[in-house]
Structure 1
């Protein structure tokens, strides 16, 4: 039984009309649905260069909240494309974010993806200093890769430490993607990043996540390509 046959049979049995179940069409249909729901007026007013990132985030989360909360600061799109084309490394605060980044797309530009949160030296130092591993992991990244992209999707303390390092003129990231999710220090950490002069893509408010950070990276690869 072919795909069309079994879905047609399922439609007859359930009374549900499916748009498509063909693998090659599902993503395309999803983006069409997103754009339909956003509406022509919104699409026309949203900055064209930023739209692919927003659409990818909504596709990943099914949450149209990001249409209002996603902020692109200090020439973020231009800076992101430059950084990716230079093959700068991408530092994440979680293995989940690192896993969600398209390695083939990153490899096309020579961008390596690193996450240090599980490293033994990070664990030991965090325990010794009574700090979060997220904060210590970005310190390690700053020592190893002074020029890089940070994709922070989980730990607000990683953003807080980045803010301190920037304020102390110890680092100047090429780009910060700030999308931690949660309650404690999440909103505040994002707002502090937006107060810097560093190019940043930030999901204001409590929502976000490692999947959002990865989705933004993947959208940027497409834009840079």
Structure 2
């Protein structure tokens, strides 16, 4: 097998990894208005912008000032991360985790399709029910399915163990904005006060959510 050959340069672009990394975060800080973001969540916001490519994300960001300290303390104590989607779980950088934390996603468990069919809901929502034995003090990350976030909130209303923190950023056109508003209103409406971060509206997704987890896991950008 012959060695690959680098093509001739036809475009001017930065191609050194460390330089791209540094310039990216410098650009985000230069172009984003972070004034309204709690100090404890500033690096979280920067990483979420980095994961989405949207500097106006801060306009819709709702970040509890307790979120990062609470979630980081939980991870340092060995808590697992519970993810609604495989893409969220795979986006977590293992080297950033402070205690070799488990990153769990039960979407592909054998019982999930049957539960979803019996309950008339999505597989992602059904998989959230399998979180219950791991939920107490965990860090929850929902970046895909609004039904998963609604299902989690309903479990908590019904008395499920409380996680240490919720990263709730499902994406989509049906239920995404509504599920995230339910998270914003959750403490006021149900008296269950859990630190959280979310993004109002339709925006969200796996990359944004795993970026938030990576920021929580380690302070360094």
Q: How many residues align?
A: 210
SS in 2 for 1:87: coil
Q: Which structure 1 residue ranges, 4+ long, deviate > 6 Å from structure 2?
A: none
Does the aligned pair in 2 maintain the 1:70–1:204 contact within 8 Å?
A: yes
Matching residue of 2:121:
131
SS in 2 for 1:50: helix
Structure 1 unaligned blocks of 5 or more: 1-5
Does the aligned pair in 2 maintain the 1:159–1:178 contact within 8 Å?
A: yes
| Counterpart pick for 2:175 among 168, 179, 185 | 185
Matching residue of 2:47:
56
Residue 173 of structure 1: how far off its partner (Å): 1.3
| Counterpart pick for 2:88 among 97, 110, 127 | 97
Residue 66 of structure 1: how far off its partner (Å): 1.3
Matching residue of 2:199:
203
Quote the Cα distance in structure 2 between the aligned partners of 1:27 and 1:101: 17
TM-score by length of 2: 0.87
Q: Deviations over 1:49-78 (max 9, x none)?
A: 211111111111111231111111262122
Change in Cα spacing, 1:44 to 1:132, as seen in structure 2 (3 Å) is closer
Matching residue of 1:31:
25
- Which one has a larger percent helix, Structure 1 or Structure 2? 1
Matching residue of 1:223:
219
Q: Deviations over 1:107-143 (max 9, x none)?
A: x323110000111111221122222111111111113
SS in 1 for 2:26: helix
Residue 91 of structure 1: how far off its partner (Å): 0.6
Quote the Cα distance in structure 1 between the aligned partners of 2:133 and 2:38: 35
Q: Deviations over 1:31-59 (max 9, x none)?
A: 11111212xxx345543221111111111
Matching residue of 1:3:
none
Quote the Cα distance in structure 1 between the aligned partners of 2:153 and 2:220: 26
Does the aligned pair in 1 maintain the 2:135–2:161 contact within 8 Å?
A: no
Matching residue of 2:154:
164
Structure 2 unaligned blocks of 5 or more: 1-5, 187-192
| Counterpart pick for 1:69 among 42, 60, 65 | 60
